[in-house]
Chain A
Amino acid sequence: MNVNIEFYASLMKYLPPGKSRFRREVSVEDDITLSRLIKQFHISEAEAHLVLVNGHFVNCGEDRDQRKLVEGDTISIWPPVAGG
């Protein structure tokens, strides 16, 4: 199935080659969990600080282990960042 990944800030280096600034459509195995997808792109747990699926937070740990992705999901990931 295909999902959209968005890696921001220092995680942009993990994006496969492509045209858009942060976004790639990638093909992944059906029913892949969020944790597995993050690992597949070599992003460590500490780096995957803010993780959204379709704009909604998914917390670190069990939530990510259990969250199964579906076709068309958009997964956005940031390292620890802040501002104000």
Chain B
Amino acid sequence: MSWTRKILRVNLSKGSCTSEPLNMEWANLYLGQRGLASKYLSEEVDPTCDPLGPDNKMIMATGPLTGTMASTAGRYSVITKGPLTGAIACSNSGGFFGAELKFAGWDMVIFEGKSDKPVYLLIQDDNAELKSAEHMWGKTAWETDDIIHATHQDPQMRVACIGRTAENGCLYAAVMNDKHRAAGRSGVGTVMASKNLKAVAVRGTQGIGNVDDAEAFMSATGDGKAVLAENAVTGQGLPAYGTQVLMNVINGIGGLPARNMRDVGFEGAENISAEAMAEPRKSDGKPNLTTNGACFGCTIACGRISTVDPTHFSVKDKPQYQGNSGGLEYEAAWALGADTGVDDLDALTYVNFLCNEDGMDPITYGATVAAAMEMFEDGVITTKETGGVELRFGDAKAFVAITEQFVNGGDFSADLGLGSKRLTEKYGKPDLSMTVKGQEFPAYDPRGIQGIGLNYATSNRGACHLRGYTIASEVLGIPVKTELNDTDGKPELVKAFQDATALVDSAGLCIFTTFAWGMDNIAPQIDAACEGDWSVENCLETGERIWNMERLFNEAAGFTADDDKLPKRLLEEAIKDGPTKGQVNRLGEMLPKYYEVRGWTADGKIPKETRQRLSL
């Protein structure tokens, strides 16, 4: 069955940790991780609650395949009501923490209430206890990880924790695990800080002993790994170049937004691309990219391990940043780079280190700085607000200075911690926020690529590529190529990607497998691991059920069809030049059809028949 069938409930107000059985009826409908934890959240939390109040809950959840021998099966998610958006938030992370939680015998941990004082949760197999974290409060995520390891003297212990930005109220703080992996989006780390929970440390020795049909599972996971190895993308492209290989592709097709999405196309793209990361640099002959890295059980290994040129201004005289650390992934490189107009690879790598060290979402952070840069250039804010930094597009030194100021809680940090929506509203320029439902866009311009715009507009956690990565089809031709600027067929495409992703995110697998795997590769692995019927059809229906359940949470939280929209800039300001010149996003052509294919009403509501069909 693969589930441990055990939940750890941690009441931070009372200081209690209790074990309870997993609701198997729900597990059969929502699988695990994103789906199952969202079901618990929907049942236990009032969607109108204050995300940073004690009534909100935070769930760390694994999927049934997490910790098994399936490729990439090390994932866990943090599910809560997000403070950046006010919508349901689910942030997925790799690394090793998720598998360790499973080895300790837990499917998920539900945190409720709020502790009086900073605490961390220590899980050692069946034993769980809250311990004082007063000596860790005010420390970075990296320091916290080190303190916990020094205290418990167990190198195999895995830590998920928050850095200083979360403590300082930054609304897009991440939960960092294994130092370089992040449940990054929507401010799940801020919720953790609001509960005075600094870290979760886990050590599990129980393994996974309850796979439903072990022989079938061995065979299905073996088949899956063979497919990943033989596929040119998952077998060669991702390990060699990482996600960053997209920088030149997306720029080449006219889909790379730049300078707060004021422009499309970034002249510095090649300097911050995967190819540039692999080039030996002049100072020490070493490339930015040291090696690739893998999360638990992953046979793809897309991770980037990088160093900054030790003579570069950003790390000169800072030996602690001159070693190997988590390098740039595509979305971070875009938000920190193209969106701020900075094409200094070392500066961006250093800022990325700081995002990991102090736990903030680099997409929202970069995009928020970009919005601030546009306001600075327009004279809306000045050095008075920015603590003396001339915050102009393309200025690497200014970007490094503002980031150091930000993580250390300097003058402009409270403003930057708001995210671009609240920041631009504060200064009377709301149209300069490139967000949906309050969350910033990732690295694909919806004017150049139509379907991703519909996905952004309808994503349940605000603008997000990982909710329905139609780029796979629209740009990369996976599984089939669709035309960038067509709107026909895009509602169906978006729905299919969104539902399939919801299922993958609920299984314990990494979404990057889907560059090679279809549901016919994934379903047999789930079916062999879990009791019940996990046919392709049931998996797809489960994904659709999860999507609709998330939408119902948001509806109850006050979201309506009015929130399924894109910023005016993307609907009205046409691309100025390049291969997509003249284009805007034509959301209006796609949204009604999308509601229809989802079985929703014309105003985006989920009618009774659809709820019944999906057992909601």
Contact = CB atoms under 8 A, between A and B. Distances in A.
Chain A interface mostly: loop
B276 interface: yes
The winner among A46, A54, A83 for most chain B CB atoms within 10 A is A83
B280 interface: no
Interface residues of A, number: 24
Interface string A34-66: 000000000000100110101111010000000
Contact of A80 (B233, B254, B270, B580): B233
Interface string A18-32: 000110000000000
Contacts of A21: 270, 275-276, 279
Interface string B501-545: 000000000011001000000000000000000000000000000
A24 to B, nearest CB: 14
Contacts of B477: 49-50
B232 A46 contact: yes
Nearest to A78: B249
A1 interface: no
Given A52-B253, A59-B481, A84 B275 contact: no
Given A9-B275, A50-B476, A59-B481, A84 B270 contact: no
Nearest to A23: B270
A22 B275 contact: yes
B252 A76 contact: yes
A52 B249 CA distance: 9
B237 A81 contact: yes
A83 B330 contact: yes
A22 B471 contact: no
B236 A55 contact: no
Nearest to B578: A55
The winner among A8, A22, A84 for most chain B CB atoms within 10 A is A84
A82 B240 CA distance: 11
The winner among B241, B252, B465 for most chain A CB atoms within 10 A is B252
B254 A9 contact: no
Nearest to B245: A81
A52 B476 CA distance: 12
A59 B236 CA distance: 22
Contacts of A84: 243, 246, 330-331, 465-466, 469, 471-472, 511-512
A46 B230 CA distance: 13
A18 to B, nearest CB: 14
A9 B237 contact: yes
B597 interface: no
Nearest to B476: A82
Nearest to A80: B232
Given A8-B248, A56-B579, A82 B253 contact: no
Contacts of A81: 233, 237-238, 241, 245-246, 249, 476
A10 B237 CA distance: 8
A23 B238 CA distance: 23
Given A49-B232, A84-B466, A55 B253 contact: yes
A82 B475 CA distance: 9
The winner among B241, B465, B471, B472 for most chain A CB atoms within 10 A is B241
B511 A55 contact: no
Given A8-B248, A8-B275, A50-B477, A80 B579 contact: no
B248 A82 contact: no
Nearest to A20: B270
B232 A79 contact: yes
A37 B94 CA distance: 42
Nearest to B243: A83
B242 interface: yes
Nearest to A53: B579
Given A8-B275, A52-B253, A57-B481, A83 B238 contact: yes
Contacts of A6: 252
A83 B246 contact: yes
B244 interface: yes
Contacts of B416: none
3 A-B pairs with least C-beta separation: A55-B579, A83-B243, A80-B232
Interface of B: 231-233, 236-238, 240-246, 248-249, 252-254, 270, 274-276, 279, 302, 329-331, 465-466, 469, 471-472, 475-478, 481, 484, 511-512, 515, 578-580
11 contacts: A10-B236, A22-B270, A46-B232, A52-B253, A55-B252, A55-B578, A59-B481, A79-B236, A81-B249, A82-B237, A83-B329
